[in-house]
Structure 1
Amino acid sequence: MNDNDKQNGGGGGETPGGSPWMKSLLIWVGILAALALFVNLFGDRAAQPAGTGISYSAFVQKVDGGQVKDVSIAERSISGTLSDDTKFRTINPGDPQLVDRLLKKNVQITARPEETPSFWMILLYQSLPFLLFLGIAFFVLRQMQKNSGSGAMGFGKSRARLLTQKEGKVTFDDVAGIDEAREELQEIVEFLKDPTKFARLGGKIPKGALLVGSPGTGKTLLARAIAGEAGVPFFTISGSDFVEMFVGVGASRVRDMFEQAKKSAPCIVFIDEIDAVGRSRGGGIGNQNDEREQTLNQLLVEMDGFEANEGIIIIAATNRPDVLDPALLRPGRFDRQVVVPTPDIEGRVKILQVHMKKVPLAPDVDPRVIARGTPGFSGADLANLVNEAALLAARRGKRLVAMSEFEEAKDKVMMGAERKSMLMTEDEKRMTAYHEAGHAIVAIHEPASDPIHKATIIPRGRALGMVMRLPERDSHSLHRDQMYAHLSIAMGGRVAEELIFGYDRVSSGASGDIQSATRLARSMVTRWGMSDAVGPLEYGGSDESYLGYQMSRPANMSNETAQLIDAEIKRLVEGGLDRAKTVLTDHIDQLHTLANALLEYETLTGDEIKRLVAGEEIGRNDPGATAAPVAAGGTSVPKIRRPKGPGPFGNPAPQGA
């Protein structure tokens, strides 16, 4: 008996003695036969003599007038033929003088008995509608049972599915970029294949492994790889499949799931999104919370209770380990917590190589260059990137996917699609060009800044333009000089607008820059201890909210501390503004050169920006560009129009002024 037979046998599967299509055929034949019998009975009951129906008084008048040729008399009806060969019928009221009247008029009389059905026919006729209703209801319930896996009468049955590997088999060779997590789970697979290798040294098979990681990092893919490698039955279920609106259903499904798993042991049970059922207990009110807690209690007992479930390994996945109940995370239930991180550059290279196997690539495609330009991308993001590049090449009618498609797909994923239908005036384009050029010039002259990858004034997503900086290598922390550089670069666009167009012409385009700078400065002060005035203390974000209402400050903060924090945040942001102003004032020629190049070409690479700043010509052979190549310099320094009152370049104005 194979694993599928075991599961079907344990859950009330197919009965022996016939294939499913034969059973369906027999059911339909029975329904059609019952309908035919039903119609036949109705036809017999509804069969009446032919002819036009007339009243009994009219019939008597025709008899007295000699218009009736012959009649056929039954117990309840009279039928016959008139002199003009017209058929008629009427009701027999039991008139005792009718026969004498007919004989006087020489009417031919025929007597016929009343047809009465037998007792069994009457019984069948009376019970046939009820039998038809029962048959249809039984057929519908059987179909529901086949489709749902548990049936309308099996609410407490487990919805765990036995995963087969006939199609789409995944192995560890298909999992890349998360080598440490793969090694942890590969040991479980080896234990299942050869338990004596570990048992002779006293090792016991782990009862559970919890996969923890951000969305898209490959937790479910790892579980599928375990199913492909282990060669043992693999049950899969989602955490939301346990909980229902009826209390006790989830606990019943947990029990049934483990009963099925015991019959197939050794086996693996994979629970996806376990936080749907494994949240900490005691945090809610109502029946649904009671149902979830009962389900969790049953899961805890089944995983490690008085009755040990030997040979059943539970593998669960979540991206919210902080909300799980502590009793669920202890050793003996989930012995291992496997972190599935966002891949580093080497991991991204391997993931790209896995997804590029199915894509015909041009010779200029370099996975390492793409991986360097996609920091923070998860495995799902990289798969989406490869897919977008393939779709873009298909739309262009290409047979190979080139590096240009990957670059454009990366821009689309990171910045959004180009808003080609958006029409910008020349003033708006010029404002955007100087804004982005301000970011780029400050970034070039900030030693702690990441290199510039690309600058563009083509609208993408919600932005009118963008300067993209990419790190040379993956970094896991920020230094103080990098934070200061980020603040000044964020303020570079606003400073450039004020230098070129004046104080009154500063636009709202810097709203996103101001928001990101403020968040960074707040984290520096309240979380990372980067303020000497506040000190190395952790206060949490003062922009926390509770139930949708904005909190003025965290509960552990006094009014004086909140004012000090606000002052330090303002000092850091305005310090970045002053640094950006100094850089752009000292290199105003480079600002004009880069802005003019953006107006001409709309998009510049990092190498082109470096050449322009160094005073070289970029000499791009762009078919769409009609103007001459841009060279550095050639623009005079405009006079800075300062505001008359206090502002960002003078003494700081009071808040709210």
Structure 2
Amino acid sequence: MSDMVKNLLLWLVVAIVLMSVFQGIVPGDNDEDTNSNYTQFIQDVRQGLIREVKIEDRTITGLRRSGERFETYIPTAYDKDLLNDLIEQNVRVVGVPPEERSILGQILISWFPMLLLIGVWIFFMRQMQGGGGKGAMSFGKSKARLMGEDQIKTTFKDVAGCDEAKEEVQELVEYLKDPGKFQKLGGKIPKGVLMVGQPGTGKTLLAKAVAGEAKVPFFAISGSDFVEMFVGVGASRVRDMFEQAKKAAPCIIFIDEIDAVGRQRGSGHGGGNDEREQTLNQMLVEMDGFEGNEGIIVIAATNRPDVLDAALLRPGRFDRQVVVGLPDVRGREQIIKVHMRKVPLADDVEPNFIARGTPGFSGADLANLVNEAALFAARHNKRVVDMQDFEKAKDKIMMGAERKSMVMSEEEKTNTAYHEAGHAIVGRLVPKHDPVYKVSIIPRGRALGVTMYLPEEDKYSSSRVELESNIATLFGGRIAEEITLGAAGVTTGASNDIERATDIARRMVTEWGLSEKLGPIKYKADSNGMYSGEAPNSMSAETTRDIDAEIRSLIERNYQLAEKILTENRDVLETMKDALMKYETIDAKQIDDLMNRVEVREPASWAADKKEKDRADSDKKDSDKKDSDKNDSAKSDSDNTKQDDAKDSSDSDTDSKPSDS
């Protein structure tokens, strides 16, 4: 049933209830016609004009001597003179016994409007509380979903790229299977395990794998399911959840996004009496209070451990924190192989190569990469997913979807080509920078062009040389426009580059201690964007001027470096612009040719597209040939049939011709 139909039925019920209540309260209008005039009826009785009457409750119907029927209503419950007058006038009186109703029926009729109102109120309360098939008074019941031992099929084989985290939680599985192994040595299993990591790294998947391996009941709930509009509901749900868990122990309780309810107390506007803080207090008591929760392990996941309350993280509650970080190159390869199990692959697919080309990807990103590659293959009616599909999927995820339908003028395409070529050339020639992976002037996402860099290996920190090289590379696009188009031709396309370069320079000076003049001191920005030391109002105006001067010095030094590189390689800038105008996208091999000042080979994407086009043309020719052969065969069969028919007709004529003899 659709929501519109439900709403219409609801308002129909409300209207019926209101009409019933209104009719019960407001008396109806009394008719004033002659038939219902009781005074006239009494006068007619006394004058002998009535032949017979029928009395039913307080309603009187009858027949006058003239043959006219009438109906009237006794205004009082009992009229003792009426019956005497009827008998004296020889009026035939017929009595009808009152309808007998059960006490239950009388109660139902009298309370029907009120019952309808109560039903409507219950319906609204269930809608406000999410319903879910529970009663209207089940606000304080836990919303945790209980999964049985065999309902979760995920195991540690389905989790890859986080070997250390798997080792940490594998101990929980061993404890749930054999508690005596730890108890005989006096060891206690952690009551709570907090999984910390960036979004998409596999925290929820790892918790499911623990339940799947342990084969124990698994209660799953989100932190937002505890908090409601009524104060005290969340605390009641926490109590109910732990009571259910005690009955099913040993078991696992998994709380996803616990930061929704576990934020530091005292930071809200409701003091200590607001709903969220009461819920957190109850959770603290249940995890390590007066009552023991033997056999119950709480696993929680969050990507914001910095906002959690300190009492929640202390030993005895969440004793262990398991960091589920971004996978390295080996972990990415394992994750890709896990997701490739359900995808038919071509022989040229190399998971190791894909893993090396996707630094910084999380498990969710890699799953999306495999899915996008399968979608690309399906669009071209391929039977298997090849390496070209994975390259297209990687470009789409890293650079955004292509917007080939976007109309750009030739002048704007030329400006974009100069801009992206400037980024690529400076990125190749600065002291230390990630290698240039691909340059494109096809609009992707919100950008008119993209220059992509890929590190040769996973990096976890950056040196001063790398940071300054990044600043120079970011200004390469603007400088290329200025060199080729003049100061008046510089466009607004470098706005994001300027913002990123300024942010790097400011953080080098104020956060990372990479300024020789200011030294290794951290300066923190306040709400107004001003920078100060750790103590309030500890930074003087002179220090503020020094910070601005150091930021400007960093930017100007690297701006001049990028300008020098592009001026010395003006010929490469022009040839790279021409290559981008011709091919729209060039990769590392074409950039090598341009930097070495040799003839540019065709991009690999062109060759792949040409190969795919040739294959499609070949399939079309084969299909056309088969159709042609089929038509020829059908035509030949038709001709043979016609010849046979003609021959049969000739034979028939010969047989029927009379003999000369």
- Normalising by the residue count of structure 2, what TM-score does the alignment of the two structures yield? 0.76
- Partner of residue 568, structure 1: 550
Flag the 1:248–1:146 CA change in 2: closer, same or farther, 3 A: closer
Q: Distance in 1 between matches of 2:387 and 2:298?
A: 43
Flag the 1:184–1:326 CA change in 2: closer, same or farther, 3 A: same
Shift of 1:159: 2.5
- Partner of residue 538, structure 1: 522
Matches within 5 A, 1:518-529: 518-529=502-513
Match of 1:617 among 579, 597, 600: 600
Q: Distance in 1 between matches of 2:273 and 2:416?
A: 53
- Partner of residue 130, structure 1: 111
**3-state DSSP class of the match of 2:475?**
helix
- Partner of residue 312, structure 2: 328
Match of 1:478 among 444, 456, 462: 462
**CA RMSD, Structure 1 to Structure 2 (Å):** 3.6
Matches within 5 A, 1:144-293: 144=126, 147-148=131-132, 151-164=135-148, 166-167=150-151, 169-286=153-270, 290-293=274-277
- Normalising by the residue count of structure 1, what TM-score does the alignment of the two structures yield? 0.77
Of Structure 1 and Structure 2, the greater helix share is in 2
Flag the 1:431–1:122 CA change in 2: closer, same or farther, 3 A: same
Q: What residue identity is the alignment partner of 2:55? A: A
- Which range moves more in the overlay, 386-395 or 312-321? 386-395
Flag the 1:55–1:294 CA change in 2: closer, same or farther, 3 A: closer
Post-superposition CA distance 1:322-347 (Å, at most 9, x none): 12222221222222110000111111
Match of 2:93 among 105, 111, 119: 111
- Which range moves more in the overlay, 587-596 or 290-299? 290-299
- Partner of residue 402, structure 1: 386
Q: What residue identity is the alignment partner of 1:616? A: E
Matches within 5 A, 1:58-69: none
Taking every aligned residue pair, what percent have the same amino acid on both sides?
57
Q: What residue identity is the alignment partner of 1:128? A: I
Q: Distance in 1 between matches of 2:547 and 2:489?
A: 31
Match of 1:74 among 15, 33, 55: 55
Q: Distance in 2 between matches of 1:293 and 1:101?
A: 86
Flag the 1:545–1:62 CA change in 2: closer, same or farther, 3 A: same
**3-state DSSP class of the match of 1:211?**
strand
Q: Distance in 2 between matches of 1:251 and 1:100?
A: 77
Q: What residue identity is the alignment partner of 2:548? A: D
Flag the 1:263–1:167 CA change in 2: closer, same or farther, 3 A: closer
Q: Distance in 2 between matches of 1:304 and 1:121?
A: 58
User: Unpaired segments of 5 or more residues in structure 1?
Assistant: 1-51, 104-108, 626-657
Q: Distance in 1 between matches of 2:372 and 2:296?
A: 40
Shift of 1:386: 2.0
Shift of 1:500: 0.5
Shift of 1:99: 6.8
The answer to whether the 8 Å contact 1:247/1:288 transfers is: no
Q: What residue identity is the alignment partner of 2:218? A: F
Q: What residue identity is the alignment partner of 1:500? A: T
**3-state DSSP class of the match of 1:531?**
coil
Post-superposition CA distance 1:357-413 (Å, at most 9, x none): 222223332222222222111111222222222233333333333323322222222
The answer to whether the 8 Å contact 1:150/1:158 transfers is: no
Post-superposition CA distance 1:104-145 (Å, at most 9, x none): xxxxx7532133123x44773354342685599579969959
Q: Distance in 1 between matches of 2:151 and 2:291?
A: 36
**3-state DSSP class of the match of 1:432?**
helix
The answer to whether the 8 Å contact 1:245/1:288 transfers is: no
The answer to whether the 8 Å contact 1:268/1:315 transfers is: yes
Flag the 1:538–1:129 CA change in 2: closer, same or farther, 3 A: same
Matches within 5 A, 1:578-597: 578-597=560-579
Post-superposition CA distance 1:307-332 (Å, at most 9, x none): 33222111111111112222221222
The answer to whether the 8 Å contact 2:523/2:532 transfers is: no
1:607 aligns with 2:578: no
**3-state DSSP class of the match of 1:454?**
strand
**3-state DSSP class of the match of 2:220?**
strand
1:551 aligns with 2:534: no
Shift of 1:508: 1.0
Shift of 1:594: 0.6
- Partner of residue 299, structure 1: 283
**3-state DSSP class of the match of 2:267?**
coil
Match of 2:478 among 474, 494, 502: 494
The total of aligned residue pairs comes to 564
